[in-house]
Amino acid sequence: MYFSKLKNEFNLSDYDKVRDVVNYGVDYVEEFKGIQYSRIKIPNMHDVYKILPKEYRKMFGLNLMRINSKVPAHTDSNIKTCINFYIKTEPCVTYFHEPIVENPRTHQINNQSDGYMFNEEDLKRVASFVAKPNEAWILDVKKPHSVVPLFGINERQAFTLATNSFTFDEVCDMLKETGNL
């Protein structure tokens, strides 16, 4: 399994940006294109963290993720699993990929550590979903995935609750324990 939709919807749009954390993409003269992560504070922080058993919450970090372009196939850096609470989705498809060759070609861009970009001709699409505002989805971000706009994109936003401590299956078990999956 690559992803799963959580049972409940979440209306989480208010936040205060604390600081920018990391960018993945290209910084043009006029604007940045790619993914930006920012540390945030939200009034209903407890509503986000309560989806997890109390003893594991400290192993997850909450950021605002903003995307303003197509995101090619990649694996995330310093994250094994994330739960995205979608705020503004734009019409985009999130695809998951599997290699069709023994050793898919990869490279890294600025700020990537243990994540990689993949040559998409070495992959095939195997699963997809289209997120809507107020939905939450858990993703296995150690599997190659991409985000493809259907009609163009201005900005896609989600709060992302991420961990580098637990695998996708382990976090799914946590969400089942709290009745969210």
Check: CB of residue 177 under 8 Å from CB of residue 84: no
**Residue 140 included in any domain:** yes
Structural domain span for residue 180: 1-90+132-144+161-181
Q: Is residue 112 part of a domain?
A: no
Residue 101 placed within a domain: no
Cα dihedral sign, 15-21-26-31: positive
Q: Is residue 50 part of a domain?
A: yes
Range of weakest confidence among 27-36, 83-92, 108-117, 142-151 = 27-36
**Reported pTM:** 0.94
User: Got the DSSP string for 126-166?
Assistant: EEEE---TT-EEEEETTS-EEEEESS--S-EEEEEEEESSS
Domain count for the chain, please give it.
1
Residue 53 CB-half CA count within 13 A: 10
Q: Does 179 map to a domain?
A: yes
Mean pLDDT of 111-126: 95
3-class DSSP state for residue 139? strand
State the pLDDT confidence band at 28, using cuts at 50, 70 and 90: confident
Which tens digit of pLDDT belongs to each residue from 61-82? 999 999 999 999 999 999 999 9
In-domain check, residue 104: no
What phi, psi does 49 have (nearest 5°)?
A: -70, -25
Task: Please report the pLDDT score of residue 177 as a whole number.
Answer: 97
Q: Is residue 103 part of a domain?
A: no
Question: Tell me: the pLDDT tens digits for 135-177?
Answer: 999 999 999 999 999 988 889 999 999 999 999 999 999 999 9
